[in-house]
Structure 1
Amino acid sequence: MTESALCAVLFDSGGVLMQPIGGRWNPRADFEQTVLSHAPGITPQQFAAAIAVGDRFMSEAPGTPDFDSYHRVILGELGIDASDALLAELTRPVEPTAFLETFPDVLPTLQELRRRGVRMAVVSDAWPELPELHSSLGISDFFEAYAISAVLECRKPDPRMYHHASSALGLEPAQCLFIDDDPALVEAAIALGYAGRALRRTDGGEPCDVPSITTLGELLSLFAH
């Protein structure tokens, strides 16, 4: 089966569909302000060092840890008691548009893909709330299925992540195009029989071992009008 037989796109989320306002995914943009309300005097340098420890915790975890576990690691590094009240405040509901935004090319590309009858799903290393975040950003209705690491208890490049999405669509891997901003994860999808493109918005054209695009709009050339 060739790329002419493609009928679905499986999207990564962060770095492909949405980005954090201010450039940081985790912890949330209001993390420092919330912690300081409980423990005044923490310096920016202390926050930076503790957040780096939290980043290592996330990268080394076999799955996607829950927010409380992640916050406990950072708070522990800061020497702050991770009380139930503080943990609850760090995850209190806020409007996602206060800290997340879609890339400019996302909505027009999704709209055109849907107009052309292309089916779509999401494959993301993320927390269970991802569909709700997408809903607040106005894009969740485009996706028929979500493969989320915290739900499936595995992370890309585990084959279960990719297969969950294509199976939910009732399609074979070769009928699906996988898009991610990490070329290694695209390479893993290709090895499983999916078509793939690495989205490289800002890399300056550095060499890439898998087919790549610089904007989501380039996907439209792979699907008939």
Structure 2
Amino acid sequence: MTASYRGLLLDFGGVLTTQMRLNGEAFERSEGLAPGAYFSALESHPDGIAVYTALEIGQATQEDWNRVIGNILGIDPTDLMRRALANLQPEPQIVAAAKRARAAGIKVALLSNSFGLAPYNPYADRGLWTDFFDAVIVSELEGVRKPSVEIYERALTALDLPGAQCVYVDDVAANLAPAQMLGIRTVHHTADPFATASFLDSLVPTEPI
């Protein structure tokens, strides 16, 4: 990165991984659900919204989520989160860019709203857990979720860096504004991992920090 940047904060689903919507559509097909049924359960059904919000801040378990979402969809809730994320794969371009940044001396952190960590840990399952990052900030462990500015403040504390020395990448535009309030440079990741990876590479210094 340029001389003033020392930290890289990365969202998980849709940034370090392939697109969340494509994963959800694949899940609907694998479970024989009507198109849009899964997204409706998560984003429109009041029970689905409530349990997902509670899961993200550690007030509901992953098994609670499995049961509620399974009931809404009328499918077997057993190990449902694992099944729901089965088609979510690491995005190789972004993962490689993160590795290059870290090799250059940049502190790299995961900053994610939680999918739950037990009984299924989707981060560890994809090799994107504590060994991959200098810091892991997951909403379930923090008791606060994006877009609350507090979770971004905790990420900066974990990296021991000011906002002006960090870059944050997220695929959800609404999650960028709180980071900007703290002086963090933001990148809105869209469907082109090559473009985002290229931009991140452009910020990495030619000489290791």
When normalised by structure 1's length, the TM-score is 0.69
Question: Which runs of 5 or more structure 1 residues have no equivalent in the other structure?
Answer: 33-42, 81-85, 203-212
Q: In structure 1, how many angstroms separate the alpha carbons of the residues matched to 2:174 and 2:133?
A: 24
Q: In structure 1, how many angstroms separate the alpha carbons of the residues matched to 2:25 and 2:62?
A: 10
Q: In structure 2, how many angstroms separate the alpha carbons of the residues matched to 1:53 and 1:102?
A: 25
Report the counterpart of residue 76 of structure 1 in structure 2: 71
Report the counterpart of residue 55 of structure 1 in structure 2: 43
Report the counterpart of residue 218 of structure 1 in structure 2: 199
Aligned length: 194
Q: Pick the structure with greater CA Rg.
A: 1
Asked if the contact 1:27/1:51 (under 8 Å) is kept, the reply is: no
Deviation at 1:92, TM superposition (A): 8.6
> Helix, strand or coil for the counterpart of 1:105?
helix
Moved more, 108-117 or 13-22: 13-22
Name the CA shift for 1:31/1:148 in 2 (closer, same or farther; >3 Å): farther
Question: Which runs of 5 or more structure 2 residues have no equivalent in the other structure?
Answer: none
Question: Is 1:100 matched with 2:88?
Answer: yes
Aligned pair partner of 1:67 in 59, 62, 70: 62
Alignment of 1:1-225 (within 5 A): 4-19=3-18, 23-25=22-24, 32=31, 44-45=33-34, 49=37, 52-56=40-44, 57=46, 58-59=48-49, 62-63=53-54, 64=56, 65-77=60-72, 87=77, 89-91=78-80, 98-129=86-117, 132-140=121-129, 141-202=131-192, 214-225=195-206
> Helix, strand or coil for the counterpart of 1:99?
coil
> Helix, strand or coil for the counterpart of 2:92?
coil
Specify the code of the residue in structure 1 equivalent to 2:151.
M
* Aligned residues with identical type, % of pairs: 25
Specify the code of the residue in structure 1 equivalent to 2:43.
D
Deviation at 1:28, TM superposition (A): 5.9
When normalised by structure 2's length, the TM-score is 0.74
Q: In structure 2, how many angstroms separate the alpha carbons of the residues matched to 1:135 and 1:75?
A: 24
Asked if the contact 1:21/1:101 (under 8 Å) is kept, the reply is: no
